[in-house]
Structure 1
Amino acid sequence: MNVNAVGFSVGGALTVEAETGFDAKNRVRENQEKGITEEERLSITWAINPAPPFFIFEGKYRAQGICDALVKQLKPIMSDVKHETVVMPQSRVNLHTEENENLCFPCVIQREHNTTWRFSNATTLYPPLGIIALPKTIEPFLDENGRVSLKALVKSNKLTFAQPISRKYPDALQVLVDSLKQTPRYAPIAGTEATTRVLRQLEYGRVDFTLEYPSILKYFTLTEGDSKLQFYYTSELGEEKIPGAVGCTNNAWGKEAIDRINAALDEVVNSPVYRASQEFWQN
Structure 2
Amino acid sequence: MTVKLNSVKLLICFLLLSGSAIAQEDELSAPLIFGVNESPPFHITKGDQVNSGFCDVLVETIKAELPGTDQVIRKMPHGRIRTIMKREGSMCFPCMINRTSYNPNYYFSKTTHLYAPHGIITRASLAKDITERYGNPVSLEKLLAESELRFAQPVGRRYGDIQHLIDEHLVGTKHHKQVYGELALYNLLAMILINRVDFTIDYEMMIQSYQRNAGAQKSKEALSFIPIEEYEGKVIRGAVGCSNNEWGKNATQLIDKAINDIRRNKDFQQSLDYWLGTDRPKLNELTTK
1:130 aligned partner: 119
How far does the alpha carbon of each residue in 1:140-198 deviate from its partner, in whole angstroms, 9 at most, with x for none? 23269732222333244431111112112235443345422343322221111211111
Q: 2:106 aligns with which of 117, 122, 125?
A: 117
In the alignment, what sits opposite 1:45? 33
TM-score normalised per structure 1: 0.79
Whether contact under 8 Å (2:119, 2:203) holds in the other structure is yes
Q: CA RMSD in A?
A: 2.4
The sequence identity of aligned pairs, in percent, is: 30
Question: What is the 5 A alignment of 1:24-43?
Answer: 42-43=30-31
Distance, in Å, in 2 between the alignment partners of 1:79 and 1:85 is 15
Match of 1:15 in 2: none
CA distance in 1, matches of 2:108, 2:29: 21
Query: What pairs up with 1:172-187 in 2 under 5 angstroms?
Result: 172-187=162-177
CA distance in 2, matches of 1:222, 1:273: 20
Alignment partner, residue 6 of structure 2: none
Q: Indicate which of 246, 256, 266 corresponds to 2:250.
A: 256
Greater alpha carbon shift after TM alignment, 244-253 vs 146-155: 146-155
Compute the TM-score of the two structures, normalised by the length of structure 2: 0.77
- Could you tell me whether the CA contact under 8 Å between 1:44 and 1:83 is conserved in 2? yes
Structure 2 CA distance for aligned equivalents of residues 116 and 206 of structure 1: 36
Q: 2:197 is matched with which residue?
A: 207
Distance 2:266 2:124 in 1: 36
Aligned-pair distance for 1:103? 0.8
1:105, 1:247 within 8 Å by CA — same for their partners in 2? yes
Separation (CA, whole Å) in 1 of partners of 2:166 and 2:88: 31
Which structure has the highest helix share of the two?
A: 2
Change (3 A) 1:257 1:135: same
Structure 1 runs not aligned, ≥5 long: 1-38
| More displaced 10-residue stretch of structure 1: 203-212 or 263-272 | 263-272
Could you tell me how far apart the structure 2 residues matched to 1:116 and 1:176 are? 21
In 1, Cα distance between equivalents of 2:254 and 2:170: 42
Q: For the structure 1 residues 116 and 96, does the alpha-carbon distance in structure 2 shift closer, same or farther, using more than 3 Å as the test?
A: farther
Displacement after TM superposition at 1:74 (Å): 1.1
Give the AA of the match of 2:137.
R
Alignment of 1:158-177 (within 5 A): 158-177=148-167
Query: Which position in structure 1 is the counterpart of 2:59?
Result: 71
Is residue 2:68 matched to residue 1:80? yes
Distance in 1 between the 2:44 and 2:226 partners?
Answer: 24
Separation in 2 of the partners of 1:225 and 1:281?
A: 20
Greater Rg by CA: 2
Cα distance between partner residues in 1 of 2:58 and 2:232: 27
Counterpart of 2:14 in structure 1 is none
Tell me if the contact between 2:97 and 2:160 (Cα under 8 Å) persists in the aligned partners. Answer: no
Letter in 2 for 1:87: K
